[in-house]
Structure 1
Amino acid sequence: MIRGESTLRMRHIGPLGVGTLPTRPLASRTVTGTRLPALRERSRLEWRITDGGDPTRLLEDFLAHAGLPVRDLTAPPRTPGPDAPAGATVYLSTAAAAHALGAPTGPASPVPAVPDLVAVVHEPATDPHPDRPPAAGGPTDGAWWLGPWRESWTPAQHAAAVEQARTAIARGDIYQVNVVGHASADYTGDPLPALARLATLPGARYGGVLQGAGWAIGCASPETLVEVTAGRATTRPIKGTRPATATGRAELLASPKERAEHVMIVDLERNDLARVAKTGTVRVDELYGIRRWCDLWQAESVVSADLADGCGLAELLRAVCPGGSVTGAPKHAALAEIAAHEPVGRGASMGALGWIGPDGIDLGLTIRTAAVDADRVHVWAGGGITWGSDPDAEVAEAAAKAAPVRAALAGPAGTRRPA
């Protein structure tokens, strides 16, 4: 069972080890060995699609009421008052984002204990070590057991879904779509150290654990969904994968299929930002850079724009969520294709998770992410499908993405059931 009170343990991965304090996790890309201030939970919002309403508007209203400047993301920063919050951790599911757009939300989540929207407002803590969890690999791991993985579809069914996507592309319904599969495994013991191990995976730009009553999310994502600093929004879509070898890097750089797929998503992200940007300010700062995550090379671009005057959080989220790299183009048509062919809901995966503070926003895309309920651990993995996709290669790519996550969850002791 998940134990302890609802806390956040999340931060940018840097020279520090796994964050053991609820810190300002995602706002700085220059984390040093200096301990960051401890925070504690002040208030929390949890919402599910069945509750009704627009989650992006509910989120903006909640954070504004808490004292965070989210009504106008272009306004000059103001000096926070003595009771101002340090910031908030925010999680938004793919289904919630689709719901906000009036698009298909897909099948039911396999982990319904996880809400579709979570916002945790933090304030400075007087106790320097509030609710400190056991460190990853700590003594509770001795009781940890992770059972065999059970896939929600077979490799043949996954390959068939890829073929169905290619058929939709041939009809002209879509240009590209992301197809995602799911697997789950029974567990016993405390899952939090296992989820915390995800944050140590190489290349995890957004790493940590968010938990609530009866659920937890562990993230090792390398992808920025959206970052806002001084009124400029930036997204860093990732699309294109090869093994992290010299040959794999050369193949990724030389592949016309991967580059075409990537550029298609960059164009989609440019269009998404343009909906909330000042005219003429959208630019591609970097195209098709090669980054490493665990034992994989991935292609990443950087797209940015100045937000239009008065743009608020809800408007921004409706423009960029769900992320283009995990949906497809056109986005609404891709979401319909996803809803028709994926076997189970995306749950905690392919959504948004990060930090909203007084001086900016930093939300990662929840790829390379696991979720836990009272009985099972859940993981998701997939990839973008174009007309040139090979079904067997797409199945293998999804397995390669999931493998480091599954290995981290199992831990160094493997999956031996405790006596």
Structure 2
Amino acid sequence: MSGNGPDGVGTLPAGAVDVPGAPRSCRGRLVERARLEWRLTDGGDPAALAQEFLAAHGLVLDDLGRPAAHDPDGVCGAALYVSAAAGAHAAGGPTGPPTPVPALPDLVVVVHAHAGGSVARPAGDRPTAGGWWLGDWRDSWTAREHADAVEAVRAAIGRGDVYQVNLVGHADAPYTGDPLPALARLAALPGARYGGTLAGLGWAVGCASPETLIALEGGRLVTRPIKGTRPATDVGRRELLASSKERAEHVMIVDLERNDLARVARTGSVRVDELFAVRRWCDLWQAESTVSAAPADGLGLAALLRAVCPGGSVTGAPKLAALAEIAALEPVGRGAGMGALGWVAPGRIDLGLTIRTAAADAQRLHLWAGGGITWGSDPGAEVAEAAAKAAPIRALLAAG
């Protein structure tokens, strides 16, 4: 575990803060004040470590329902990244196979304060030094192996072990040049509500996620699970709205998210504000719902992270049983995918689920994509859906 200041934290060039969820009015004048990086091998509870580190640096998040004011001259807030493996560990579930990106920590907390003036321009605006080249993608499983895993989940559903499991595949590709400009441009993809980057010593993450894992909005906790996908055509939209399979899969995850929030909510305050709304991400229609709740008295960040991580839409139901299936079936760890990335501060939480997310280490780019499997899933269609989700990101990264 490391807790280091702003000096020497990254070999990749740094620019202005571009973390998803960071206040837009502050991004151009934020400077890093302190950093915590943690890996599973360090031991301990990542949720508790995050809350304790934030408190030690002036960001007290031990009662999320408490009103808070933004200090325009002091500490602004913190970037927070939690890997899917760290979330599973905090939830008491299996963490899955080893990550394909060991340089990437499982927990990153970066505290930012306001500088007197503006700082360097965003990474995505820099020219790429030395040119950009991205090699061929190498998948961690074949289409046949992916389809076989879908059948294995269907068999587990048939036995009554689980109701739904989200299966995720991984691919990597060699590169030369600076990966940050390519990763930063993922934020421009249509529907990338959580577009942005986070970087450290020998690693970087770029996100184009449309999905809210957890936010604090108007004094309420909000999650917006996404489940159900079709091509973004008129026919695709009609098919998604008419699909009993997609609706059943979606409602199951909405119920799971309701239960997750109920663990940390004021009694009777959980509600579904919107159900099965169809929204667009790149060239795909996706179904999204909104679930909200009032935080329980004295709810702290650590308890909230334990309740919602890893996200139900990328695990399945029941969550712990789904995590066991994931650990048994997926060939490599989820790395930067299917975790949480965003911004936290007193009175402000905005964490996206790291779907549509890529990561770089010193030699390769990494990408994850998948989908939810139910009894009604068709293996070939599930393989095609995962490829469709990855395609826009692959194309943009190749363009550099």
TM-score (norm: length of structure 1): 0.90
Distance 2:192 2:346 in 1: 24
Number of the residue aligned with 1:119: 109
Moved more, 384-393 or 138-147: 138-147
* Pairwise CA distance, 1:394: 0.0
Aligned AA for 2:374?
A: T
* Contact in 2 for aligned 1:23/1:38 (Cα 8 Å): no
Among 56, 60, 79, the residue aligned to 2:51: 60
* Contact in 2 for aligned 1:217/1:372 (Cα 8 Å): yes
Secondary structure at the aligned position of 2:49 is classed as helix
Number of the residue aligned with 2:62: 71
C-alpha deviations, 1:260-282, integer Å up to 9, x for none?
00000000000000000111100
Distance 1:176 1:289 in 2: 21
Distance 2:212 2:129 in 1: 31
Number of the residue aligned with 1:286: 274
Alignment of structure 1 residues 317-336 onto 2, 5 Å = 317-336=305-324
Number of the residue aligned with 1:171: 159
Number of the residue aligned with 1:99: 89
Distance 1:76 1:141 in 2: 45
Number of the residue aligned with 1:26: 21
* Contact in 2 for aligned 1:37/1:124 (Cα 8 Å): no
* Contact in 1 for aligned 2:19/2:196 (Cα 8 Å): no
Distance 1:399 1:25 in 2: 25
Number of the residue aligned with 2:76: 86
What is the CA RMSD across the aligned residues, in angstroms? Answer: 2.0
Runs of at least 4 residues of structure 1 off by over 2 A?
A: 4-7, 34-37, 78-82, 132-136
Equivalent pairs counted in the alignment come to 392
Number of the residue aligned with 1:109: 99
Aligned AA for 1:26?
A: G
Distance 1:308 1:275 in 2: 9
* Pairwise CA distance, 1:68: 1.3
* Contact in 2 for aligned 1:174/1:330 (Cα 8 Å): yes
C-alpha deviations, 1:312-331, integer Å up to 9, x for none?
00000101110000000000
Alignment of structure 1 residues 2-401 onto 2, 5 Å = 6=9, 21-22=16-17, 25-26=20-21, 36-78=27-69, 80=71, 84-130=74-120, 132-136=121-125, 138-140=126-128, 143-401=131-389
5+ residue gaps, structure 2, are: 1-6
Distance 1:102 1:165 in 2: 21
Distance 2:201 2:27 in 1: 26
User: What is the aligned-residue identity percentage?
Assistant: 69
* Pairwise CA distance, 1:122: 0.2
Distance 1:73 1:356 in 2: 11
* Pairwise CA distance, 1:65: 1.3
Distance 2:76 2:368 in 1: 32
In 2 relative to 1, CA 213–170 (structure 1 residues): closer, same or farther, beyond 3 Å?
same
Distance 1:304 1:181 in 2: 30
C-alpha deviations, 1:268-306, integer Å up to 9, x for none?
000000000111100000000011000000000000000
* Pairwise CA distance, 1:251: 0.3
Aligned AA for 1:77?
A: A
Distance 1:89 1:36 in 2: 12
Secondary structure at the aligned position of 2:188 is classed as coil
In 2 relative to 1, CA 79–260 (structure 1 residues): closer, same or farther, beyond 3 Å?
closer
C-alpha deviations, 1:240-259, integer Å up to 9, x for none?
00000000000000000000
Distance 2:141 2:65 in 1: 45
In 2 relative to 1, CA 140–79 (structure 1 residues): closer, same or farther, beyond 3 Å?
closer
* Contact in 1 for aligned 2:30/2:113 (Cα 8 Å): yes
5+ residue gaps, structure 1, are: 10-18, 413-419
* Contact in 2 for aligned 1:230/1:360 (Cα 8 Å): no
C-alpha deviations, 1:328-353, integer Å up to 9, x for none?
00000000000000000000000000
TM-score (norm: length of structure 2): 0.94
* Contact in 2 for aligned 1:134/1:140 (Cα 8 Å): no
* Pairwise CA distance, 1:220: 0.3
C-alpha deviations, 1:103-140, integer Å up to 9, x for none?
1000000001000000000001234123x35535x531
Distance 2:85 2:76 in 1: 28
Secondary structure at the aligned position of 2:155 is classed as helix
In 2 relative to 1, CA 141–395 (structure 1 residues): closer, same or farther, beyond 3 Å?
farther
Distance 2:353 2:49 in 1: 20
* Contact in 2 for aligned 1:225/1:365 (Cα 8 Å): yes
In 2 relative to 1, CA 277–149 (structure 1 residues): closer, same or farther, beyond 3 Å?
same
Distance 2:198 2:9 in 1: 8
